[in-house]
Structure 1
Amino acid sequence: MRPCNFEENVVWYTILGTYLFYFMGILYFVPTLVTWGLTLYLGKKLWQQTDSTPADERIRIPWIIWAWLAAMFAMLVSLVMAHVDFDLGTATLLKSTLGWARGWALWALLPLLGCLSIRPQLIYRAICMLGLQSLVIFPVFVVGFLLRLPDPLYTVPWNVFGGPIGAFQISFYTIDPENRLIRIGLFAPWAAAIGYVSSVFFPLSLAETNRWWRSIGIAAAVLMAVISGSRLAVLALPATWLLTQILSRLSRPSVLIGLSGASLGAGLAAPQLINLVQNFIAQFRSFRSSSSDLRATLDNIALQRWPEALWTGHGIVERGPKLVQFMPIGSHNTWVGLLFVKGLVGFLSLCLAMVATFGVLVFKAQNIFLARVALHLFLALFLNTFGDSIEVTVYLVWPGLLFLGLAYKASEEQPQKPELATLLEVAPS
Structure 2
Amino acid sequence: MIDFSSITKTTYHQSESKLGALSFAEKLIYWTIILTPLWWLLGAQTIVYPVVSVLLLFAGLNLDKLIKKSLPICNWTWLAMTLVALWTNILGLEQIGFYTVKTSATLFTLFKGYFMIFACMTVPFWHSIRVKVITRAVSWMAVSFIVALTIQLLILVAIGPHEPFLPPIARLIPGEKVSMMVKFAIIQPFFGIPLPRTDLYTADPPILGVSALLCCFICWGESNKRLRNFGLAGSLLALIISQSRLAWACFPLVFVIIACFRSGLARQGSLWLASFTSLFCAVLGLALQDVIKAPLATFNSARADSSKDREYVVNATMEAWRESPWVGWGIMDRTVTWGNGAFELPLGTFSSYAQVLYLHGLVGFVFFAIALISTVCSFWEPSLRGNRNCQKAFACLIALYILCQATNLTWMAIYIWFFFLWLGSILADIQQQRRKVMTWEQLSL
TM-score class, shorter: 0.7 to 0.9
What is the aligned counterpart of 1:6 among 12, 15, 24?
24
Bigger shift: 66-75 or 162-171? 162-171
Q: Work out whether 1:176 is the aligned partner of 2:188.
A: yes
Give the Cα separation in 1 of the matches to 2:66 and 2:270: 49
Q: Work out whether 1:193 is the aligned partner of 2:189.
A: no
Aligned residue for 2:177? Answer: 165
Q: Amino acid of the residue matched to residue 336 of structure 2? A: G
Q: Amino acid of the residue matched to residue 398 of structure 1? A: W
SS in 2 for 1:321: strand
Give the Cα separation in 2 of the matches to 1:402 and 1:8: 11
Q: Work out whether 1:319 is the aligned partner of 2:328.
A: no
Q: Which runs of 5+ in 1 are unaligned?
A: 52-57, 416-429
Cα shift at 1:289: 0.5
Give the Cα separation in 2 of the matches to 1:100 and 1:197: 20
What is the aligned counterpart of 1:81 among 72, 91, 105?
91
Shift in CA distance, 88/281, structure 1 to aligned 2, threshold 3 Å: farther
Aligned residue for 2:3? Answer: none
Q: Deviations over 1:159-217 (max 9, x none)?
A: 44224423331122133378543212221122222111111111101111222122111
Q: Amino acid of the residue matched to residue 25 of structure 2? A: E
Number of equivalenced pairs: 403
Give the Cα separation in 2 of the matches to 1:413 and 1:366: 18
Q: Which runs of 5+ in 2 are unaligned?
A: 1-17, 435-445
Give the Cα separation in 1 of the matches to 2:267 and 2:80: 35
Q: Work out whether 1:301 is the aligned partner of 2:316.
A: yes
Aligned residue for 1:378? Answer: 397
Given that 1:151 and 1:173 are in contact with CA atoms closer than 8 Å, whether structure 2 keeps it comes out as no
User: In terms of Rg, which structure is larger?
Assistant: 2
Give the Cα separation in 2 of the matches to 1:188 and 1:154: 13
Cα shift at 1:155: 4.4
Equivalent runs, 1:276-295 vs 2, <5 Å: 276-295=291-310
Q: Amino acid of the residue matched to residue 211 of structure 2? A: V
Bigger shift: 355-364 or 281-290? 355-364
Give the Cα separation in 2 of the matches to 1:155 and 1:36: 24
Q: Amino acid of the residue matched to residue 375 of structure 1? A: F
What is the aligned counterpart of 1:217 among 231, 256, 264?
231
Q: TM-score, normalised by structure 2?
A: 0.83
Q: Work out whether 1:95 is the aligned partner of 2:105.
A: yes
Given that 1:200 and 1:380 are in contact with CA atoms closer than 8 Å, whether structure 2 keeps it comes out as no
SS in 2 for 1:320: strand
Aligned residue for 2:143? Answer: 132
Bigger shift: 110-119 or 232-241? 232-241
Cα shift at 1:287: 0.8
Give the Cα separation in 2 of the matches to 1:49 and 1:111: 15
Given that 2:189 and 2:303 are in contact with CA atoms closer than 8 Å, whether structure 1 keeps it comes out as no
Q: Amino acid of the residue matched to residue 326 of structure 1? A: E
Going by fraction, where is helix more abundant, 1 or 2? 2
Give the Cα separation in 2 of the matches to 1:393 and 1:276: 32
Shift in CA distance, 20/413, structure 1 to aligned 2, threshold 3 Å: closer
Given that 2:324 and 2:361 are in contact with CA atoms closer than 8 Å, whether structure 1 keeps it comes out as yes
Give the Cα separation in 1 of the matches to 2:87 and 2:287: 47
Bigger shift: 151-160 or 310-319? 151-160
Aligned residue for 1:208? Answer: 222
Equivalent runs, 1:356-367 vs 2, <5 Å: 356-367=374-385
Given that 2:60 and 2:123 are in contact with CA atoms closer than 8 Å, whether structure 1 keeps it comes out as yes
Given that 1:76 and 1:100 are in contact with CA atoms closer than 8 Å, whether structure 2 keeps it comes out as yes
Q: Deviations over 1:315-345 (max 9, x none)?
A: 1113221448111212111111111122112
Aligned residue for 1:243? Answer: 257
Give the Cα separation in 1 of the matches to 2:405 and 2:264: 33
Cα shift at 1:291: 0.4
Give the Cα separation in 1 of the matches to 2:294 and 2:185: 32
Give the Cα separation in 2 of the matches to 1:7 and 1:378: 25
Q: Deviations over 1:7-49 (max 9, x none)?
A: 1001100001000111111122110111111111121xx3465
Given that 1:198 and 1:221 are in contact with CA atoms closer than 8 Å, whether structure 2 keeps it comes out as yes
State the superposition RMSD in angstroms: 2.5
What is the aligned counterpart of 1:121 among 104, 120, 132?
132
SS in 2 for 1:182: strand
SS in 2 for 1:185: coil
Q: TM-score, normalised by structure 1?
A: 0.86
SS in 2 for 1:315: coil
Given that 1:157 and 1:168 are in contact with CA atoms closer than 8 Å, whether structure 2 keeps it comes out as no
Cα shift at 1:352: 1.4
Bigger shift: 209-218 or 160-169? 160-169
SS in 2 for 1:411: helix
SS in 2 for 1:394: helix
Cα shift at 1:257: 4.8
Aligned residue for 1:108? Answer: 118
Given that 2:329 and 2:359 are in contact with CA atoms closer than 8 Å, whether structure 1 keeps it comes out as yes
Aligned residue for 1:15? Answer: 33
Cα shift at 1:6: 0.8
SS in 2 for 1:393: helix
Q: Deviations over 1:242-300 (max 9, x none)?
A: 12322x35xx7666555544443332123386544211111101111100000000011
Give the Cα separation in 2 of the matches to 1:313 and 1:93: 17
Give the Cα separation in 1 of the matches to 2:75 and 2:423: 10
Q: Deviations over 1:330-365 (max 9, x none)?
A: 211111111112211222221111112222222221
SS in 2 for 1:309: coil
Q: Deviations over 1:108-159 (max 9, x none)?
A: 1211112121110111111111122221232211122121253214543624
Q: Amino acid of the residue matched to residue 278 of structure 2? A: G
Q: Work out whether 1:24 is the aligned partner of 2:63.
A: no
Identical-pair percentage: 20
Bigger shift: 371-380 or 327-336? 371-380
Given that 2:104 and 2:174 are in contact with CA atoms closer than 8 Å, whether structure 1 keeps it comes out as no
Give the Cα separation in 1 of the matches to 2:317 and 2:293: 25
SS in 1 for 2:45: coil
Give the Cα separation in 2 of the matches to 1:358 and 1:253: 21
